[in-house]
Each structure stands twice: as C-alpha cells, then as structure tokens.
Amino acid sequence: GAQVPPAATMCGILAVLGVGDVSLAKRSRIIELSRRLRHRGPDWSGIHSFEDCYLAHQRLAIVDPTSGDQPLYNEDKTVVVTVNGEIYNHEELKAKLKSHQFQTGSDCEVIAHLYEEYGEEFVDMLDGMFSFVLLDTRDKSFIAARDAIGICPLYMGWGLDGSVWFSSEMKALSDDCERFISFPPGHLYSSKAGGLRRWYNPPWFSESIPSTPYDPVLIRESFEKAVIKRLMTDVPFGVLLSGGLDSSLVASVVSRHLAEAKVARQWGNQLHTFCIGLKVHFSILFTGLSSLLRITLGHLSKFKLFSCSYEYLLHRFEGTFLNIVYWSILIAENHFRPSFKI
C-alpha cells in the first residue's frame, strides 16, 4: 500500500505507572525495555520520571525534527505526554488555545494543552492517528488513548507490583507484566475512572443496516481529503508504490495537489515514488497469495464483514487502510452480495 509520508506512524512509546520499585536499577530496566522499540524511532530517545511513574519515547522525527523531542509538556511541566502518531488538525486546535504557550512546533504538543483546558474529554477533538499516554503529576492521574480505528498500535499490561504498563509493542511488556492486552481502538483508559471507555461514538456505529445513501462523489472527496491532509511533514517524503490500485490513486492525488501544499515550499513539487521487489519465484509468491486469499475469504464469510456500514467504509478511507478497502471491494464484487454498492 501507499504511505504519505513513509512510516509516519513509526514512533515507539513505553509508559510504566505506579511501580513498586523506584531504584536506579528499575529506571535502567525501563530504559532497556524502551530500547526494544528503537527500530520504531531512531532519531531520539527520551524518558521522564516522576516518583513511581516513567514515560519513555523513541522518536521518528516527521514534524519539527529540531525541537519536537519527546516526552512533551505543558508550560510548567506538570503535564507530561508521550505520543506515537500525527495530529492533522493541530494548527486549528492551537488557534483555540491562545492563552497557552507552546514550546515546540510538534503537532503532538497540543495534547498536553488540550488536557489542561478540557480535562479528559478532549480526545474526540483530535483528527489524526495516534496512541498516547498522559501523566498529570499534580495528582498522579494518567490517561491513555488510541485512535478511532487503531492505526497506531498500543498494548496495555499489568505488573505483579500493581503497576500499569503501556507500549507500542508487546516485546516491551512480555517479560515484566503478568498479563497484557491489545488496547482497543477508539478507547480511553482513565486512572481516575479505573477502566476503559469508548471515546469514539459516531452516530452510525451501532447501525446494523446502513442508513446513508451511496454517494460516489462523497467517497471521492473523502478519499482526496484523507490524502491531502497527510502531506504534513518537515522531512522529505514519497509514495511507496505496490503496483496496485490504491497506491496509484494515492500517488495521483498527491501529484495533483502537491504544488499547492505547504510542504512544496520546502521540498519542491516533484513527487518521489518507490517500489520494493522480492527475489522470489513467482510460483512461490502466487501460492502464498492464494493461501492468504482463501484464509481471508473464510474469515470474511464467517464474520460477515460485508454488512459494514457505508460510513465505516468512509472511515476506512480516512484511516489510510486503503489496501483493505480495495481488497474488500474486489472480493465483495466477485464472491459476495454486499450490503453496499461501489
């Protein structure tokens, strides 16, 4: 599939809260575990510790590479946040926070200030892909949240000492937690409330039968907007071409709108594209794809995924799950009678 910019979601976060051991050995252990995520963010390693709480970050710099190192803070550093992801509407949100002073140009710093202004009920204001952990040192409360459809990974674990852990990958939790789960998309964990709750509640979410009429113009507009707003980067970028329909469409939209985007002023309006090849015999590759397709068809049939709502399909576009969308359309047209029409 295509990504704009490449690997934009790849940072690594690790948060350990309420540990029973606050020794230097424990801090060293958390740093060691954070290094297991180094491949996700080679540009910077950071850690913030407050009493028995630790927030660590491995950064891949996309926006504000010079001063946007994490963890990030509010003005007096009483609110600390470690984030993986991108907030596309950060400039719009900053305009609503005129009384706040921002220390960096990072799109993710807005999370700390939104929490100051609105408390825990700000997550649905974010337009982006993200997973984050936020610590309020004033009362040692914390929250964690994941984007609406789970583009950015996040796992949650519990230590034997009663500590709560969050990480971008299970490898940072598996050796030190007695149990762990995949953090559900569209949810928020609050230490004050003591559990998970869904923050993403669109009106169509509970629909078993789609209620919105099919509108190809709206699908096209949503798709183009989803691509255009991802042209938010302070580093060079490109489009990874798979040879399929989705990446070709992404490249087409980018090439048409690149000249008018902010990023063109810094990096020019020439779109760079890339392809990756595999040194494998075609028969082996075809056999593998055939097996994968049979498994996919079996699961789709079992769970009846094609009764999904029209709005959910639109949100799949918004979340850049383009491969899934097009494969779903292809399979639906040839193997099922879907409840939506493309």
> Does 11 qualify as catalytic in the annotation?
yes
Residues 6+ apart with CB under 8 A from 278: 285
Give buried/exposed letters for 172-208 (b at 16+ CB in 10 A, else e): bbeebbeebeebebbbbbebeeeebeebbeeeeeebe
Separation CA 228–CA 256 (nearest Å): 10
Structure tokens at 226: 């989803």
Strands 164-167 and 12-17: antiparallel
Structure tokens at 77: 């550093």
Active-site position among 11, 108, 152, 177: 11
Count Cβ atoms within 10 A of the Cβ of residue 151 and give its class: 0-12 exposed, 13-18 middle, 19 or more buried: buried
Q: What is the DSSP letter of 39?
A: G
**Nearest to 124, CA basis, from 81, 73, 187:** 187
**Nearest to 166, CA basis, from 81, 43, 68, 46:** 81
Residues 6+ apart with CB under 8 A from 82: 13, 14, 15, 48, 55, 56, 57, 70, 71, 72, 132, 133
Contact 131, 13 (CB under 8 A): yes
Residue type, 123: V
Handedness of CA 114, 119, 124, 129 (dihedral sign): positive
DSSP run (H or E) holding 30: helix 24-35
Catalytic residue ranges: 11
